[in-house]
Structure 1
Amino acid sequence: MRILNICAYTWAIGGPARIIYDHTSEVLRQGHQVDILSPMTPGEKLYPTPEGARLIPCRRTTPLSTIYREFSVDLYRYLKKHIHEYDLIHVHGIWHFGSLAPFLIPNQVPKVITIHGLLDRWAVEHSKWKKQLVTLLYQKKLLGKADLIQINNTDEEQDVIRYLGYRPPNMAIIPNGMKIADYSSLPEKGIFRKHFAIPSDRKMVLFMGRLNTKKGLDLLLPAFMKYLHQHNDALLVLAGPDDGYLAQAEEFIQLNALQDSIRLVGMLTDSVKKAALADADLFVLPSYSEGFSIAVLEAMTAQVPALVSDRVGFGDYIQAHQAAYLTPLTVEGVAEGLEKTLQDATYRENIRQNAYQMVLQEFDIQVVANRLLEEYKKIQR
């Protein structure tokens, strides 16, 4: 089978790139071929390409791409010339040009769309007028035309039903997976702390994700300050690229004189990212909206205890396995969670162990990839 993934395959995009990487690695191992068609801006850092796969970068067309996400004439030209060479096209996300382009060219190639949480109520309200326009023009119609809609959980199932007004027959719930072996040997403890001058006597609380309102930073920052008023034993690391919230975070830190207690370290990649996980005492993501948070799954696979909201995309699994502290989406709720997780070492150890066992049982990439491959084969038949 020759598969084409369409996604902005960069470090900045976060989870979807990691999902494609892990799934592609397993699909290649089983003898299939995979290409990744990625709209990008010159200078962006591309995500690593699995050995044996082919990455095809396409330049975004400016200034139109600032109005219509990922718009790329190069991407359209590539598809027009090569679309018939593929057995299946897998589009990651909606609302962007890459999710429309395969439908603009007459072809009979089966098409898969992974929603990635983009029909969540919070996500739909963001840039609402653009999404209403796209909905009116084509988005609902394209979901109906897709041969398979992949969703990650029952919450996302309800999001699709609410958006379309009916349950499409071409929808399957398949969670994201994790290549567990990649986290079996982390860098030696202390490397990240030394590099960023984080004292060894302070617990390291790690936030890792785009600096965006939806990630719950408006809750985390004041909640962490409340915790510090009671205990001066922790330091918060905010790791991720700016996605609209960096200036607010910097202002909060400056106004409250928290320069010694909060570090902004930018986007972490490769071994530096793993070094951060190795040194973290707690991972935090009080997010308002996630399709299926790969950052949380990475932290759990790296055996870091976690404090998260139930909106990270697999809250039902987390609750069933008691695999993290599930926080309410309030400042007080996050502050109480920090108090419990940072002051109770036994509790941290319990949720750490539970989370790792959950990953082994539910989210091993080999199991998840095989489920998706079976769905691929069904729509080909």
Structure 2
Amino acid sequence: MNRLEPRMRIVHVIDHLRSRGGGPAAVAANLARAQAEAGHTVALCTEHPRADEPEFSTGRHTDVRRFRNDGLLPALRGRHDAQGVVAQALDDLRADVLHLHGLWEPALLAAASAARQRRIPIAANTHGMLDEYAMRVKPVKKAIAYQLIYRKHAMSTSLLLANSQREADAMIARGLGARVAVIPNGVELEALDVERQRGAFRRAHPELGEDPYVLFLSRLDPIKGLDIIVRAFAILHQRGVNARLVVAGSDWGAEAPLREAARSLGVEDRVHLVGPLYGDEKKAAFADCYCFALASIVETFGIVIAESLAAGRPVVITNTCHLDTIEPNRVGVVTERTPEAFADGLASVFADPAEADRMGERGKELVRTRYTWPAVVQACDAEYRAHGITERNSCSRS
């Protein structure tokens, strides 16, 4: 942002920052860091860290405060530890806005209560939690909870940020339209520079040899579509394409079915599970892959897709990933969500290595112009202002 523009005082709240949790924690940490680096005054409130689980970094300029993650009843009774921690942060910063991440977590209800008591506007990223598919998981419980508690919570916000039009449409369908804006998630600028890591992943995994590999990098959750990908990969192998499939991520229930499918399809020796990857190891996996693959049942915005593009590699995704910039910008292939269609998509990318490289270069440029965190901060600043959230709010409070 322009350093001459007024700076805002922003308090973010998310239930945890654990890397294993993926998307929401990554967005909260990176947005807070990018806003602080742009000159805003930023605090982030979250639960105490766990000794055995790494967390996403919020950078050097974000004031991180910790709370005990109590349950729903303490939140409804005004006794959740987060309420006091967030209240103190709001007061210390003389905050202009409380920015929540998520929907169902009791800590967010407690935080919102602290903001309302101080008449501080609330912005929120729901991270796809109001999506039609997400609402079908434990549907009765969620429907009751939404009507009794969380609808009022959502209606109390000044701004609801969706990261795709699909997510925005889900919010609008619930009568939240006036406060909805679409801002995509971001990618770290460092993700654009993978040259130093090129070759490192192959050296660490000599079992890959020189064969090109398709990369899946996400949590191993049934929602992520590994069943589609491994069947498509087997079809690709049957067609004579000499490739491998690298699966990176922590197990959320899909590892055993994936191993069984690979064995039954006769590609067990060409499917490599390498566990979760972070930092330079993650960048190295992107740098050396031929293409990236994702076939999720639903995505509102797949950060990992943008990360692959940032690394200069084409993507093959299903139309259920809902990233509408892929085909118009010719940075990958979007298919129907069937093994046969996905195999065709992979085959088309493998058929023309030169065009695959060109897709990768176009993908890097797309990320550089639309999906970096500085660009997201600018868009977020604009939406804050458009919805009446400005630095002037702090001037009226003692």
User: Could you say whether these structures have the same fold, taking a TM-score greater than 0.5 normalized by the shorter chain as the test?
Assistant: yes
Tell me what 1:289 maps to: 298
Which range is displaced more, 199-208 or 167-176?
A: 167-176
Tell me what 1:160 maps to: 171
1:64-213 aligned at under 5 Å gives the runs 73-85=80-92, 86-105=95-114, 106-162=117-173, 164=174, 166-213=175-222
Contact 1:84 1:109 in 2 (8 A): no
Contact 2:312 2:361 in 1 (8 A): yes
How far apart are residue 269 of structure 1 and its match? 0.7
Q: Distance in 2 between matches of 1:153 and 1:201?
A: 37
Runs (4+) off by over 6 Å: none
Contact 2:32 2:44 in 1 (8 A): no
Which range is displaced more, 168-177 or 253-262?
A: 253-262
Q: Distance in 1 between matches of 2:281 and 2:193?
A: 16
Tell me what 2:389 maps to: 379
How far apart are residue 252 of structure 1 and its match? 2.2
How far apart are residue 218 of structure 1 and its match? 1.9
TM-score scaled by structure 2? 0.85
Contact 1:219 1:286 in 2 (8 A): yes
Is residue 323 from structure 1 mapped to residue 331 from structure 2 by the alignment? yes
Which range is displaced more, 219-228 or 105-114?
A: 105-114
Tell me what 2:5 maps to: none
Is residue 247 from structure 1 mapped to residue 256 from structure 2 by the alignment? yes
Contact 2:131 2:167 in 1 (8 A): yes
Q: What amino acid sits opposite 1:157 in the alignment?
A: A
1:257-268 aligned at under 5 Å gives the runs 257-268=266-277
Q: Secondary structure at the match of 1:112?
A: strand
Q: Distance in 2 between matches of 1:73 and 1:282?
A: 46
Q: Distance in 2 between matches of 1:244 and 1:137?
A: 31
Is residue 276 from structure 1 mapped to residue 285 from structure 2 by the alignment? yes
Tell me what 2:13 maps to: 6
TM-score scaled by structure 1? 0.89
Q: What amino acid sits opposite 1:125 in the alignment?
A: R
| Pair 1:256–1:120, CA change in 2 (3 A) | same
Q: What amino acid sits opposite 1:10 in the alignment?
A: R
How far apart are residue 185 of structure 1 and its match? 4.1
Q: Distance in 2 between matches of 1:126 and 1:202?
A: 39
How far apart are residue 343 of structure 1 and its match? 2.7
Deviations 1:111-152 (A, max 9, x none): 111122222222221232331232122122111110111112
How far apart are residue 257 of structure 1 and its match? 4.7
Q: Secondary structure at the match of 1:237?
A: strand
| Pair 1:108–1:289, CA change in 2 (3 A) | same
| Pair 1:140–1:331, CA change in 2 (3 A) | same
* Unaligned runs of at least 5 residues, structure 1: none
Is residue 361 from structure 1 mapped to residue 364 from structure 2 by the alignment? no
Give me the CA root mean square deviation.
2.4
Q: What amino acid sits opposite 1:5 in the alignment?
A: H
* Unaligned runs of at least 5 residues, structure 2: 1-7, 394-398
How far apart are residue 232 of structure 1 and its match? 5.2
Contact 1:41 1:59 in 2 (8 A): no
Q: Secondary structure at the match of 2:61?
A: coil
Tell me what 1:345 maps to: 353
Q: Distance in 1 between matches of 2:298 and 2:44?
A: 26
Contact 2:244 2:271 in 1 (8 A): yes
Contact 1:342 1:348 in 2 (8 A): yes
Tell me what 1:310 maps to: 319
How far apart are residue 303 of structure 1 and its match? 0.5
Q: Pick one of 35, 38, 42 that aligns with 1:30.
A: 38
Q: Distance in 1 between matches of 2:206 and 2:148?
A: 52
Q: Distance in 2 between matches of 1:331 and 1:358?
A: 28
Contact 1:201 1:233 in 2 (8 A): no
Identity of aligned residues (%): 26
Q: Distance in 1 between matches of 2:380 and 2:67?
A: 26
Q: What amino acid sits opposite 1:324 in the alignment?
A: G
Q: Secondary structure at the match of 1:295?
A: helix
Q: Distance in 1 between matches of 2:296 and 2:186?
A: 20
Q: Distance in 2 between matches of 1:157 and 1:273?
A: 30
